[in-house]
Amino acid sequence: MVRRRPMNHSVLVIRSTVTSTSTTPASSNFPSAYPSEDESEIAALKKPFPFLSLPSELRNKVYSLVFASAPEIIDLDPDTFSHINRQRLFALFRVSRQLSHESIHHFFSTHTFRLFPIYPGRYFKTKRPLLCRLPAKYRSSITSLDLRLGPGWNNPPEGWVVNQALGLVDCVNVRALKVFVECDTSDDMYEGYRKFDGFYELFCAELLESVLKAVPTIQVVELDAWSAVKRNGKMISGLGEVISKFEKVVAWGPERGWNQESDQVWLDALLLHRAGKLTKNAVVFPRRDTLVHKEAQ
């Protein structure tokens, strides 16, 4: 017979030596329905900034910063459009209707757009200049145009013509035309290279006249040139007669430095022709019939 040992029924008590000071209920282990401070800050950062609630002056300053890297004169130039695409300058055009309207108007009203391209190759010879490729609503915001004279002086491209396809009829807000002259082919150094005497000067004068006819809203014509171009040469004089014919205000660009001479030229012409009532631009570029009439008196 096997004897069984009596079992010890004593209770084993385990005392914890760690005392908890936390008063947080056990339910805190579950996520709260209320966001924490960190979550509130993150949500505030993700909230869209009310840009359109800013005053228009501040929005225009932002647009200026966005488009600051774009060239001052926009031409049909692959480098220009590569830069625009790389910097995504036109991204604002696709944000919303109001942002699109404001950013488009700001860009096209604060930059100068070249009438005829001067980039060598197929762009220079194209029959569809930059203005032809722009939508009419873009052209209506343009305030300044550029006309570069000199490239192709012995054989101007066929596309350098003012016609309906150019879209100048839509440029209703243009106020300034910048004309830059690279060369005066009436100079003796062009002897034997030009088609005939006065060919390019006549071409440029007729081109300028066509532009002024097509855009009657132009108020100021800014003339500038390289240092080799003389102010009293046939090129500038011919352009001046056209400007005087349309009674536009003449301004002088910064490159040639003629603006520093204008006051003295105006004073000399005033004393010579006794034209006290004429404005500075009318005296600098007097119409021939006006001078003949004054000399006859």
Classified as helix, coil or strand, 74 is: strand
Q: How confident is the model at residue 256 (pLDDT cuts 50, 70, 90)?
A: confident
Torsion angles phi and psi, residue 186, rounded to 5: -75, -10
pLDDT value of position 35 = 59
Distance from C-alpha of 276 to C-alpha of 287, rounded to nearest angstrom: 15
> Which residues fall within 8 angstroms of residue 275, CB to CB, at 6 or more apart?
269, 282, 283, 286, 294
Instruction: Identify the DSSP state of 2.
Output: P
Residues in Cβ contact with 19 at an 8 Å cutoff, skipping those fewer than 6 apart: none
Residue 16 neighbours by CB distance under 10 Å? 6
Q: pLDDT digit string (tens) for 214-236?
A: 999 999 999 999 999 998 899 99
Crossing angle between the packed helical segments 56-66 and 97-110, to the nearest 10 degrees:
70
Is residue 148 within a helix (H) or strand (E), and if so which, with residue range?
Answer: strand 144-149
pLDDT in tens, 74-104: 999 999 989 988 889 899 898 889 999 999 9
What pLDDT does 134 receive?
A: 95
Which is it for the CA torsion 127, 133, 138, 142, positive or negative? negative
Q: Give tens-digit pLDDT for 47-80.
A: 788 888 999 999 999 999 999 999 999 999 999 9
Mean pLDDT of 190-196: 90
Which carries the bigger pLDDT value, residue 212 or residue 191? 212
pLDDT bin (cut points 50, 70, 90) of residue 291 is very low
**pTM for this prediction:** 0.75
At 168-188, the pLDDT tens digits run: 999 999 999 999 999 999 999
pLDDT, averaged across the chain: 82
How far are the Cα atoms of 87, 186, 187, 225, 226 from residue 230, in angstroms, in the given order? 40, 10, 9, 9, 9
Q: What is the pLDDT of residue 279?
A: 46
Q: Residue 24, exposed/middle/buried by CB under 10 A (0-12, 13-18, 19+)?
A: exposed
Q: Domains of the chain: which residue ranges?
A: 53-260, 261-297
Average pLDDT of the segment spanning 104-129: 95
